[in-house]
Chain A
């Protein structure tokens, strides 16, 4: 794309560093995950070397054309990380104990699974499985493949309900999953994002089972309101199939936001709306064409034709390794409105437009900052 503009020297490393260390929140997660995190630092002191480099980048950072807030959290996280590393090092001989903890954690998990002694909530969300397995399966894709950079995670409130509204793209809903990992791994109090998914997800075998266990539920007002009233963070992509199945030429152009039902749901629950812009997902499968007849025969909303997809068979289903940025914007409060506001269509349209414009604006801003699609 022609949107590559500013190329600050040595930018990439500090960017890549931020999300990686940002994940390091002390004292959360099961035994297996904390073990996994402890491993690199416990293995030796090289942990401090990238830290030093990162800190240097951060210090040099505020370059023209880059917002300063990008650099500052990086520096902070470096400090946090060093503190954690020091603690690990002083424990001494942590490697063996670390392995034991991992095995013990794994076996405890296995024991829970085979005896069925775990909890699922009324939506079928299996927190144990999600934390231990599903997120671990997605994490390589998130960290290594798409190198997701997360900004503004503090805009998701630490408690109470919130509705995260994001743009939708990429032919396959990988953006939703990456957003879920982003919130799961980066949020300071470890909140779980509960995504609302299309009914197609719940018709497909295997997919519906995994979606329910990962905490997704059907995108309908009843479920969204129920989740918000329970104080969950709910993620929704109001563009739906119009957004995810749009041609490559329309990339980063937000489609119509449904009928704005998400706004009235948030209003009724009094939950703030957090706009979220995802850059990078548009290019993973550049959709050049849409075989509509084939889609109708298969009963799916669109059948994508990408430079690789039907031609290379399953190999064509490998997404392009683009570099992603997920930016959570300033929350829009909804608790100041009177209760009957949810029935006011004019207000609904205005709020929907406000959310939509904020996401679109942030998208353009992120695109200007982006150096290239892949780095």
Chain B
């Protein structure tokens, strides 16, 4: 008998993609997609059940279909359609509580996969440069999605204690990028001019959507030989990009804003509905965050297909060129080189020093 997989949050692009992918796996019999709103995209042969995971009805869904694997992807930072931050928080926290309660009652559930985020580490100047899964955060996230993710992980740990027979896998994803990403950071990077915090150049790490789907699949199935897929894992592409590198590769100019004024700018942008500039988002763009993916490689046995730079490149291609396309700038420098090089002397040094920032 094959597996019955229940996926929450299928109305989002990523959830939809995961449902379409996992139903092609031979060991999966049936896929049930759950969300409070009907998805705009195709779900293939999967059954869609319109249920709000904040309601106890989710327990009946589990029992009715005899679900044995639950993939909880409805932990997100951005609201889907209408509803503000409160609705998102409700879905993240209350939804997780209801879902875990239902799972605890269900005799058939044997595997739980939770999509979390590396934002649970917070970001502060006193933090070590690279977070391991075991690193305790120096300053807990004060609010926003990061706090939700912390609370969700807390409930999941409680659940794992009460149901030791269920394999629980918490996947902490770095910032997810890709052609269809809808995370707050993707929205930020799509702004024509990027407001940055003056005097800080955060280190960022990205993970490509394709890798997210693959890691979720590995976690949802039985572990392969000599790997283990229960526990907590950081998931991120190799390497690091600084925000200044990102803006240059995107060709979008930056506007450094002094730290005290950043919150006002963020608020102003939020009121005109451009993007979600939560305090936690601002902290990420101030101090940055890098995680170690050693556990993902060694224990989970997954090698990401995209590095941070490649995931970013794919995202940049999908967004089109910015105001200062890097290709054009490189061309300009090449023209200067062609013009300057036959001549001895000239301001080579001056240029080098000016481009220091």
Interface residues of A (CB under 8 A from B): 32, 95-96, 99-100, 102-107, 109-111, 113-124, 126, 129, 132-134, 136-137, 199, 202-209, 212-213, 217-218, 220, 222-223, 226
Contact check, A116 vs B333: say whether CB atoms are below 8 A apart.
no
What is the bound-complex CA distance between A217 and B334, given in angstroms? 35
The chain A residue with its CB closest to the CB of B258 is A205
Q: A120-B242, A120-B245 given as contacts; is B356 within 8 A of A106 (CB)? A: no
The chain A residue with its CB closest to the CB of B331 is A111
- Pick from A100, A107, A117, A217: contact of B336, CB under 8 Å: A107
Q: A205-B259, A208-B199 given as contacts; is B245 within 8 A of A118 (CB)? A: yes
Interface residues of B (CB under 8 A from A): 125-130, 132, 135, 197-201, 203, 239-242, 244-249, 259, 287-288, 290, 326-327, 329-330, 333-334, 336-337, 340-341, 344-346, 348-349, 351-353, 355-356
20 contacts between A and B (CB under 8 A): A32-B352, A103-B337, A105-B348, A106-B351, A114-B326, A114-B355, A115-B249, A116-B247, A122-B203, A122-B239, A126-B242, A132-B352, A133-B356, A136-B353, A202-B125, A206-B198, A209-B201, A212-B201, A217-B129, A223-B129
Q: Which 3 A-B pairs have the closest CB atoms?
A: A205-B199, A116-B248, A106-B348
Contact check, A120 vs B125: say whether CB atoms are below 8 A apart.
no
Residues in A whose Cβ lies below 8 Å from that of B245: 116, 118, 120
A231 smallest CB distance to B (angstroms): 16
**Which one of A122, A126, A217 has the highest number of Cβ atoms from chain B below 10 Å of its Cβ?**
A122
What is the bound-complex CA distance between A111 and B327, given in angstroms? 10
A215 smallest CB distance to B (angstroms): 11
What is the bound-complex CA distance between A202 and B200, given in angstroms? 9
Contact check, B130 vs A223: say whether CB atoms are below 8 A apart.
yes
What is the bound-complex CA distance between A207 and B199, given in angstroms? 7
Q: A32-B352, A120-B240, A120-B242 given as contacts; is B198 within 8 A of A218 (CB)? A: no
A103 smallest CB distance to B (angstroms): 4
Contact check, A223 vs B340: say whether CB atoms are below 8 A apart.
no
B289 smallest CB distance to A (angstroms): 11
The chain A residue with its CB closest to the CB of B340 is A103
B61 smallest CB distance to A (angstroms): 42
A46 smallest CB distance to B (angstroms): 21
The chain A residue with its CB closest to the CB of B329 is A114
A55 smallest CB distance to B (angstroms): 32
The chain B residue with its CB closest to the CB of A132 is B352
Contact check, A199 vs B240: say whether CB atoms are below 8 A apart.
no
B346 smallest CB distance to A (angstroms): 6
Residues in A whose Cβ lies below 8 Å from that of B356: 129, 133-134, 137
Contact check, A205 vs B355: say whether CB atoms are below 8 A apart.
no
**Which one of B128, B132, B200, B337 has the highest number of Cβ atoms from chain A below 10 Å of its Cβ?**
B128
Known contacts A110-B352, A199-B126, A222-B129, then 18 further A-B pairs from the complex at CB < 8 Å, ordered by chain A residue = A32-B349, A95-B344, A103-B337, A103-B341, A111-B329, A111-B330, A111-B337, A116-B247, A117-B249, A122-B240, A124-B203, A134-B356, A205-B198, A208-B200, A209-B201, A218-B126, A218-B128, A223-B128
- Pick from A105, A113, A120: contact of B241, CB under 8 Å: A120
Residues in B whose Cβ lies below 8 Å from that of A99: 344-346, 348
